[in-house]
Every structure is written in structure tokens, then in C-alpha cells.
């Protein structure tokens, strides 16, 4: 697939929106995560619109002062905006400040995945897979210190990733990415000594 000028615009936009942001607990520029998610989308048969959404998937919840659904739709189209919204766990009217409680946001997101079905799930699944890869790799490096990076602790994070796998399966998603996500979740549970897999 040849990526067009909208993709280039989205890449430049994502770099500017997330400038200075790093991955939790690291010095890795956040754009590395966006590019990894985009790569997963493209290597798993995603469209250019899905690749653009992968670059923008965290913009609404991480940078609400710079980005809005209207801005995304105007610049990249309705479908891209819908895909970005589908990856966002903050309420539609979120404009910054404190987010709703972590558990409420994650339960609502899990409900969304279950009800959305397999169509349009590729960006969300690619995001969760890249996050799980990073969590497993970082756990191997720093052990339980890893959990201090997150607003929710170890038990909640393990619960959430198990529930994500189940929600994607319940939605009818069939993808090698989901199989890998499940393998990583099982591996993480083994690494931390959690037998609730």
C-alpha cells in the first residue's frame, strides 16, 4: 500500500501533538509507541485510514487541549475520527483536567469493545498489543517497580489485560495480534507469580 499525503500530515500532526511526551517511566519519546501501533495496523492488513487513526489514537485523551473530535474529523475525515474515538477511554466531552476514576473508564472501554464487534477493532487491538509488549519487556528489566508507573496497581493492570483479551474474543475478533496479546498476558501473569490466568 502506498501511503498518501493525509498519512504524512497525520504523522507530522501526531509528532507535534505529542511533542515532549514520553512513555511512562522511560525517556522513550511517545511517538515511538504511535509508530509501533501504526506498523502493527499496516502489517495486519489495516487501511490507510486505520494507520492514520493509529497515529492519532491517544490524542483525544492525552492532549485534549490541542485536539478535538471536530479537528480530527475536519482534517482527516469522519472514519478516522470514529476510529480514534473508539480507542479513547475518556468521555466524549473530556477537555482536560482530572479523568474519571480508572476502574470506571476501563469498564466502559471493555463494554465498548464487546459491543463494537470485530469491525474497526484493529487500531485498539494494536495499541493494547504494543502496550503489553512494553509492559512484559519492562517487567523483565525492573520487576515490581514497574507498577509504580501506572495510576492503577499490579492487580488492576493484570485484571484489565485479562479482561481485554476476553472482550476482544467476545466481540468476535480473530487476529494473530489477539493471540499474541493473550500469550503476553499469560506470560506476564506467570512472571509476577499470579495463577489467576
**CATH number, domain at 130?**
1.10.3210.10
Instruction: Give me the half-sphere count of Cα atoms (radius 13 Å) on the Cβ side of residue 75.
Output: 20
DSSP state of 148: G
Residue 164 lies inside a defined structural domain of this protein: yes
Within-domain flag for 122: yes
- Note whether residue 72 is domain-resident: yes
pTM of the model as a whole: 0.93
Give the confidence band of 196 by pLDDT, cuts at 50, 70, 90.
Answer: low
Confirm whether 24 is domain-assigned. yes
Q: Which of 87, 190, 95 is closest to 140 using CA atoms?
A: 190
Cα 126-131-132 angle, rounded to 5 deg: 100
Q: Once rounded to an integer, what is the mean pLDDT over residues 177-182? A: 98
Residue 85 lies in a domain: yes
Q: Is the pLDDT of residue 55 over 80?
A: yes
C-alpha distances out from residue 151 to 35, 99, 132, 154, Å: 24, 11, 16, 10
Domain annotation covers residue 196: no
C-alpha gyration radius of the chain: 16
Domain assignment present for residue 105? The answer is yes
pLDDT digits (tens, 9 = 90+) for 128-170: 999 999 999 999 999 999 999 998 999 999 999 999 999 999 9
Query: 107 pLDDT exceeds 50?
Result: yes
Total domains, the chain: 1
Taking the alpha carbons at both ends of the chain, their separation in whole angstroms is 38
- What is the domain extent for residue 166? 5-191
CA distance 11 to 76: 11
Rounded Cα distance, 116 and 101, in Å = 23
- Read off the pLDDT of residues 16-51 as tens digits, 9 standing for 90 and up: 999 988 898 888 999 999 999 999 999 999 999 999
Amino acid at each position: 500500500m502506498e501511503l498518501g499525503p493525509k498519512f504524512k500530515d497525520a504523522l507530522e500532526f501526531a509528532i507535534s501533538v505529542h511533542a515532549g511526551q514520553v512513555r511512562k517511566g522511560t525517556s522513550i519519546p511517545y511517538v515511538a509507541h504511535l509508530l509501533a501501533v501504526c506498523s502493527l495496523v499496516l502489517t495486519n492488513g489495516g487501511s490507510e485510514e486505520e494507520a492514520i487513526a493509529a497515529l492519532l489514537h491517544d490524542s483525544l485523551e492525552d492532549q485534549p487541549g490541542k485536539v478535538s473530535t471536530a479537528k480530527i474529523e475536519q482534517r482527516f475525515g469522519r472514519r478516522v475520527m470514529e476510529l480514534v474515538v473508539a480507542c479513547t477511554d475518556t468521555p466524549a466531552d473530556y477537555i482536560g483536567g482530572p479523568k474519571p476514576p480508572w476502574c470506571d473508564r476501563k469498564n466502559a472501554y471493555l463494554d465498548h469493545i464487546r459491543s463494537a464487534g470485530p469491525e474497526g477493532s484493529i487500531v485498539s487491538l494494536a495499541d493494547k498489543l504494543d502496550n503489553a509488549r512494553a509492559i512484559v519487556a519492562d517487567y523483565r528489566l525492573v520487576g515490581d517497580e514497574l507498577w509504580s508507573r501506572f495510576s492503577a496497581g499490579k492487580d488492576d493492570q493484570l485484571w484489565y489485560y485479562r479482561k481485554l483479551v476476553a472482550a476482544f474474543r467476545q466481540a468476535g475478533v480473530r487476529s494473530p495480534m489477539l493471540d499474541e496479546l493473550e500469550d503476553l498476558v499469560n506470560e506476564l501473569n506467570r512472571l509476577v507469580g499470579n495463577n489467576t490466568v
